[in-house]
Structure 1
Amino acid sequence: MWFLSYWTIPLFSALVWLAMLIAMLTTWTSQGRPHYSSMDPSQRIAYISDVGAQGLKPLFIAMSTVTVVSFDIAFLLERWLRHTGKLAPNTSIWQKIYSGLSIVFAIAGAAGLILLSIFDALRHNRLHNIFLAVFIGGYVLSAVFICWEYQRLGIHFREHSVLRYSFWIKLSFILIEVALAIAFGVTQRQKLYNAAAVLEWTVAFIYFFYVLSFFIDFMPAVRSKGRQSRTTEMDMATAETGMGDGAADDQRYFRGAATNGTTNDASTNGYDNGYTNGIEMHPGYPNGNGAGYVKPVEPAPLPSRNF
């Protein structure tokens, strides 16, 4: 079922994050863009953390936690799918190391986001900024190592274009987020708080697209779940039960000429065994079995299921 597919995990994570951002931004604007106590006197645009430090703090903590926990599950699931061969498997120990490091840094980034939502900018400003750096740095480094892994995989599996697409998407995320993070830090130090607030919201929305990019990573695994054809399933069932329809077991039903080399038109089931469905083979002996027994006419064979 579609809601149990692998790709629903990163999709769910991305949508939760997007819903949180929209809820916080809508709440701030619908309230008339209030000036919170955590904001600088010259600041007109609220940071995400400013909104999250006020009445929406429970929402900020809960949805941030759900987002990063489900996202880290996607990292672990990706590792497991490669290990089991449902995704292109790693071809060297270094690829596995890159994958493991990407998971470690993703967990660090998740811890940073959860902690910065708890230690808000109003009451714990210094800790909040430290955990913000951990959040951004953790996921950027995680993206670096997963890009490294995908680059090596793409060399060995050139036929898998999804690896190439995913690599470029994640590399773009790294370059854009690093540039925006540097700009955010510079504007903060220069006390350009409105510009810094815009940059923070931009970083958050780009993170949504990064999480969503894992959707395409799981698509090969989704296709592999349903790759077995209906005909193959019926053939397997035939082999197990001994019940076939002619294609799975050519000795069961035959709709045509004899299979034993004879050209006798009297044979209608492919066996020259003395049964001719009532057609006389020898004078005085219907069916040719020497006992005068006439085999009842068999019903017409069922239409083939091979279509």
Structure 2
Amino acid sequence: MIKIGSFNSPNVRPRWAFILPLLSVAAWWGMLIAMIVCWVAQGRPNYEQEHIYMAHLIVYLSNVGATNLQGLFIAGTATMGVFFVWSVIEETYLRSRRKRYLLPRFRRTATALHVACIILTFLASLSIFFVSCFKDTEYDTVHLTFVGIFIVLDLFWAICNISLYFIYARHYTHFKWFKWSAWLKVVWLIVGIGLAVGYVACMRVASIHGDASRLWGVSAVFEWALCFWFGVIMFLFSVDLGLRSKADSDYQTDSGSDWDKENNIQTPPQGTVHY
């Protein structure tokens, strides 16, 4: 069991923690691909008949999710969310003073950012789950509201996670992955923001130009691209959890390190990774 304070949750062996984000993206991408395949297999029905340039060419994810495939939509978002939240909790646990399997967190700022990541991930996962539960054909306003909440929460989660890794990169200068991870996530975030802006902007402009606007189809392309792009972060997160030196010598400090002094640790506990 993962034990953080009075909180307990299921656990996996530390060396297999990197699989959790991969299971999350597998569920997410698997759902997206399955929905596209099913839409094509059903003859590419046009759910937006008033948008003539979308006919048989592209479809909104939400429109497919509002059909008889809603069960798949719900299952995919729920599974993705569970493993996403579990991954974030797992990292916090593996960097705890009790476990110290990964380079340990330090100072209140790092701990606060870890907690913020857990809360934001949980709320974001809950939001996308509600997106799948409320059909846009029946609850359009609620559906779009939760889509917006999901995007905003993921934005703040990414900012917290990137900030955390820049802090680690500054403290653990010998472990270069922290800096690489932070900058790669910055790139991921910038591209994601660009896709989200393109999606919203095209919809807004298309609504002004009317149902015959080609931008409705363009906005749908942005939507699918954004959905698939979201899954890319899981691969970086998998490396975060799995990239660990095989030799203690890679962590060239001892019990006299600043972290140990701050936490009054005189002798590293048995099995500790020396960093």
TM-score, reference length from structure 2: 0.77
Task: Give 2:110's aligned residue.
Answer: 95
Name which of 45, 48, 51 aligns with 2:64: 51
Q: Mapping of 1:203-214 within 5 angstroms?
A: 203-214=226-237
Task: Give 1:148's aligned residue.
Answer: 163
Q: Residue type of the partner of 2:157?
A: S
Residue 171 (structure 1) shift:
1.2
Within 2, Cα distance between the matches of 1:33 and 1:182? Answer: 27
Residue 39 and residue 55 in structure 1: after superposition, are their counterparts in 2 closer, same or farther (change >3 A)? farther
- CA RMSD in angstroms comes to 2.2
After superposition, what is the alpha-carbon deviation per residue over 1:88-131, rounded to whole angstroms, capped at 9, x for unaligned?
A: 11232111111211221111111110000000111111111000
Residue 31 (structure 1) shift:
2.1
Within 1, Cα distance between the matches of 2:90 and 2:121? Answer: 13
Name which of 177, 185, 195 aligns with 1:180: 195
Q: How many residues align?
A: 225
Residue 2 (structure 1) shift:
9.0
- Three-state SS of the structure 1 residue aligned to 2:95 is helix
Task: Give 1:15's aligned residue.
Answer: 26
Residue 126 and residue 154 in structure 1: after superposition, are their counterparts in 2 closer, same or farther (change >3 A)? same
Name which of 74, 84, 100 aligns with 1:71: 84
Question: Quick one: percent identity of the two aligned structures?
Answer: 25
Conservation of the 8 A alpha-carbon contact between 1:39 and 1:50 = no
Name which of 127, 137, 148 aligns with 1:122: 137
Residue 40 and residue 96 in structure 1: after superposition, are their counterparts in 2 closer, same or farther (change >3 A)? farther
Residue 137 and residue 40 in structure 1: after superposition, are their counterparts in 2 closer, same or farther (change >3 A)? farther
Task: Give 2:220's aligned residue.
Answer: 197
Q: Give the unaligned 5+ runs of structure 1.
A: 228-307
Which structure shows the bigger proportion of residues in helix conformation? 2
Task: Give 2:173's aligned residue.
Answer: 158
Task: Give 1:26's aligned residue.
Answer: 37
After superposition, what is the alpha-carbon deviation per residue over 1:239-260, rounded to whole angstroms, capped at 9, x for unaligned?
A: xxxxxxxxxxxxxxxxxxxxxx
After superposition, what is the alpha-carbon deviation per residue over 1:17-72, rounded to whole angstroms, capped at 9, x for unaligned?
A: 11111101111122221112x66433332111111110110000011100011111
Q: Residue type of the partner of 2:195?
A: L
TM-score, reference length from structure 1: 0.69
Task: Give 1:274's aligned residue.
Answer: none
Task: Give 1:217's aligned residue.
Answer: 240
Residue 139 (structure 1) shift:
1.2
Q: Residue type of the partner of 2:110?
A: Q
